[in-house]
Structure 1
Amino acid sequence: MERGVEPELAAWLDLSAGVAGDMLLAALVDAGAELEHVQSAVDAVIPDTVRLVAHEVRRAGMRALKVDVELLVTDQHHRSWSTIRERLESADLDEPTRRRALSVFGALAEAEARVHGVGVDDVHFHEVGAWDSIADVVGVCAALTSLHVSTVTASTIAVGSGSVSAAHGRIPVPVPAVLELVRGREVTSGGDGELATPTGVALVTALASGQGDLPSLAVSGSGVGAGTKDVPGRPNVVRVVLGRVVAGETGDTGGTARTGGELRPAPSSSVPADLELTEMVVLESNVDDLDPRLWPTVIDTLMDAGAADAWLTPILMKRGRPPHNLSVITHRRHRAPR
């Protein structure tokens, strides 16, 4: 017997034109996330600071939604990771939104720490510590909660090329923080300029459990979020596809995504970058009327065949029979065909 999981609502992100925090937020709002819910979450973290305004635009002829973060204050000082963490931990947020937002900023802090050679708690954010970037991160996390999304996967990330101006001067694209964030992920240039911002990439790498082509979904909705620039010949948008997971294709798979007919692991920013995640399954069977002296040989044979672990549990069945439950943890490919 195999333990399965119930189908759940999933979101797949099309990042073929790049990604920024406001683009991803707009795509989720366009897909049905309640803007009022998102605004309330942002206000809980940075009250009386920003106003979210959504309006339709066109990008290379494609209709899309643009969400502008309008500042209600003039203060845009840089903020440390510890300061942002304290705001998130003390804010009146639902736990899924809080947990996701902490994960995103934690990933950003780790990336910036590696870039600048400092401790994580000594990181001071520049652009990503501004009010609008905080609103983007909290807004995206709240939008996922509003849509009841529990699983996120994403396409290959277009990161761009060339150079861009930053707080420390002109730097190459992809910028150093983005390169740290995409360790182990698939990226492509996709065009000129900065197509993927640190905030956008942190949202993807922290929240997406896998990477690959559009998985098998019973599609229930979609959204298109616009970037600021209207680039001729290429819609500057992020697309999101929502749907119920088709059993056996994707879901909470421990960091895997279906691509080209295969399941492959995608690293998570919440684990070390050099740690690979592989989907495993638990196989179980109740066995009685077997000579107990054979069990050590059975366990050894299973381990030699590639099982990650195997064990016995004594159980009691009908009519007082005392069989054993044999459990095996192994790779998905070893399960019986359906």
Structure 2
Amino acid sequence: MSQTLYLECYSGISGDMTVAALLDLGADQQLLKKALKSLPITGFETVISRVKKAGLDVCDFYVKLDQDNHDHDMAYLHGDDHHHQGEKHTHHHLTEPGHHHPHQEKKNHSHDHRGLPEIVEIINQAQITDHAKALAIRIFSIIADAEAKAHGVDRERVHFHEVGAVDSIVDIVAVAVCLDNLNIREVIVPDVYEGRGFVRCQHGVIPVPVPAVTHIAASHQLNLHITDTNGELITPTGAAIVAAIKTCDQLPRQFAIEKTGIGAGKRTYDRPSLLRAMLITDKSKKNGDIYKLETNIDDCGGEILGFVMERLFEAGARDVHYIPVYMKKNRPAYLLNVICSEADIETLEQIIFEETTTIGNRRIQMESIGLKRTIKRMLPGCYSVRKNRPLDRR
């Protein structure tokens, strides 16, 4: 059974925070480790642990790389006046060929970068489900498109640094595997909180939200909420994850929380770096909720209307009836009412548009209530309730 996920991004979002929150929700750690081990890349190991954040016991997911000098501390990101507080944050960037991180030792150029096609091939070789592969590739594609737009280059010319690519591949594949393992298909993200100011990257000092994040937010209608926090709360990976998995930005009027998971971030600002994830059940939809489809129809013969009624019942309508009405210039017409469940709306509307002369339809959500019904076989000699006469004994 698929589940609905609600991401509460009051402290922003990043790849490692998302993985940690999903693991805390119950994603299978051994399954994840097996999936990451199947990736045809080396130079990393993952550490899953419990840490304290603001006094809360939360999950931490850390990708430990053989070359860890691309992890920027707070002083590097924000300048010497911003003191490092004992935590590091892996901040990857997509770059054009020939650009290198100022603190990264240059390696053999033929292995220095990975483009999107190479990363897609790596993901496709992993021993994970097709759904997880497709999701991971979608997340990477969203980042590549945003970085290409930010730097004014073609998508094919945008590459990851090799070390940063490993970190990003692990985070993104881990997110896809965990979501698939939890069978999450609906994801609600009302808004994502971001900081302000400037951060350093290999291109220089850039504003927050960083350009890649703003392009992702614009292309995928993310709801940003800018806070007074001086720093970057949303990483490009985090923004791309939201863009790839969000199916709704409105919480139900009422919902029950089935389970909660909290993932730890690696930065410390004026607010705890936490991502809270909840599996929820919509309680605002009652079992008796139904819809009425209401349509004005004129210039349509009775034979056609009778045929339409039969088709609507066959397609799942609970009830269908016509009401004689007068329309413009006192022209006789009919008001078609169809009672149905939400799942059947699209099918029934298609029949109405195909088979009648109407050009519009109204949807009205309703609540139904009725007497409890039972069906019983009446023995010979019993009386019919409806006509108050003995039933036929034959």
Q: Fold match, TM over 0.5? A: yes
**Counterpart pick for 1:25 among 14, 19, 24:** 19
Question: Aligned-pair distance for 1:158?
Answer: 1.1
Question: Aligned-pair distance for 1:153?
Answer: 1.4
Equivalence map 1:1-338=2 (5 Å): 8-72=2-66, 77-126=112-161, 129-183=164-218, 184-190=221-227, 191-213=229-251, 216-232=254-270, 234-246=271-283, 248=285, 290-292=302-304, 311-312=350-351, 334-338=363-367
Contact 2:6–2:277 (CA<8 Å) still a contact in 1? yes
Q: Which amino acid aligns with 1:242?
A: L
Question: Aligned-pair distance for 1:128?
Answer: 9.3
How far apart, CA to CA, are the structure 2 residues paired with 1:16 and 1:132?
24
Q: Which amino acid aligns with 1:200?
A: G
Contact 2:2–2:183 (CA<8 Å) still a contact in 1? no
Deviations 1:41-74 (A, max 9, x none): 2222344442221122222223221111112568
How far apart, CA to CA, are the structure 1 residues paired with 2:138 and 2:292?
28
How far apart, CA to CA, are the structure 1 residues paired with 2:359 and 2:179?
32
Q: Which amino acid aligns with 2:273?
A: N
How far apart, CA to CA, are the structure 1 residues paired with 2:181 and 2:360?
36
- Give the TM-score of the pair, scaled to structure 1: 0.71
Question: Aligned-pair distance for 1:247?
Answer: 6.9
Deviations 1:214-240 (A, max 9, x none): 7644322111111113445x2210000
Q: Which amino acid aligns with 1:26?
A: A
Identity of aligned residues (%): 30
How far apart, CA to CA, are the structure 2 residues paired with 1:282 and 1:136?
46
How far apart, CA to CA, are the structure 2 residues paired with 1:225 and 1:52?
15
Question: Aligned-pair distance for 1:210?
Answer: 1.8
Q: Which amino acid aligns with 1:208?
A: K
Contact 1:8–1:244 (CA<8 Å) still a contact in 2? no
Contact 1:127–1:133 (CA<8 Å) still a contact in 2? no
How far apart, CA to CA, are the structure 2 residues paired with 1:47 and 1:298?
69
Contact 1:8–1:245 (CA<8 Å) still a contact in 2? no
For residue 211 of structure 1, give the secondary structure of its aligned residue in structure 2. Answer: coil
Structure 1 pair 291/142, CA: closer, same or farther in 2 (3 Å)?
same
Question: Aligned-pair distance for 1:149?
Answer: 1.2
For residue 302 of structure 2, give the secondary structure of its aligned residue in structure 1. Answer: coil
Question: Aligned-pair distance for 1:337?
Answer: 1.1
For residue 111 of structure 1, give the secondary structure of its aligned residue in structure 2. Answer: helix
For residue 212 of structure 2, give the secondary structure of its aligned residue in structure 1. Answer: helix
Q: Which amino acid aligns with 2:276?
A: R
Structure 2 stretches of 5 or more lacking a match? 69-106, 296-300, 309-331, 338-345, 368-394
Structure 1 pair 114/327, CA: closer, same or farther in 2 (3 Å)?
farther
How far apart, CA to CA, are the structure 1 residues paired with 2:186 and 2:358?
26
Structure 1 stretches of 5 or more lacking a match? 1-6, 250-280, 314-323
Contact 1:56–1:66 (CA<8 Å) still a contact in 2? yes
Contact 2:231–2:269 (CA<8 Å) still a contact in 1? no
User: Paired residues, what number?
Assistant: 282
Question: Aligned-pair distance for 1:130?
Answer: 2.3
Structure 1 pair 337/198, CA: closer, same or farther in 2 (3 Å)?
same
CA RMSD across the alignment: 3.9
Deviations 1:98-120 (A, max 9, x none): 01101101111111121122222
Give the number of the structure with larger relative contact order, counting CA–CA contacts within 8 Å between residues 6 or more apart: 1
Structure 1 pair 36/192, CA: closer, same or farther in 2 (3 Å)?
same
Contact 1:112–1:123 (CA<8 Å) still a contact in 2? yes
Structure whose alpha-carbon radius of gyration is higher: 2
Contact 2:67–2:163 (CA<8 Å) still a contact in 1? no
Deviations 1:310-329 (A, max 9, x none): 5548xxxxxxxxxx987999
